[in-house]
Amino acid sequence: MSNKPIALTEREMKEIASLEAIREMWGAETAAEMVEMLDTQVYAVKFQYASGMAPGYVGDYFILQGDALGEAIELIRDRNNEIVFVK
């Protein structure tokens, strides 16, 4: 596992953009519009994360931050390998 940020792939941007709640947060009407925002307007990064506590999480950890400082959006992959919000 690495603590260095990793740029999102096009596939990951499309996965995230497919989430209706994410599109609503940024006011994107379509997934394609959200992909463009993720590429140009949103600070979007991924880490390969490994929790040191049991039970923990090991896998993709995504952080999305808009152009105004505030609470970042945190996403992980669930057991079905789908991107979901951190609870």
Better-predicted residue by pLDDT, 47 or 58: 47
pTM of the model: 0.87
- Give tens-digit pLDDT for 20-40: 999 999 999 999 999 999 999
Task: Report the C-alpha gap between 53 and 57 in whole angstroms.
Answer: 8
Question: What is the percent of the chain where pLDDT is above 70?
Answer: 94
Residue 16's nearest CA partner among 36, 41, 35 is 35
pLDDT band per the 50, 70, 90 thresholds, residue 52 = confident
Beta strands 58-65 and 83-85 are: unpaired
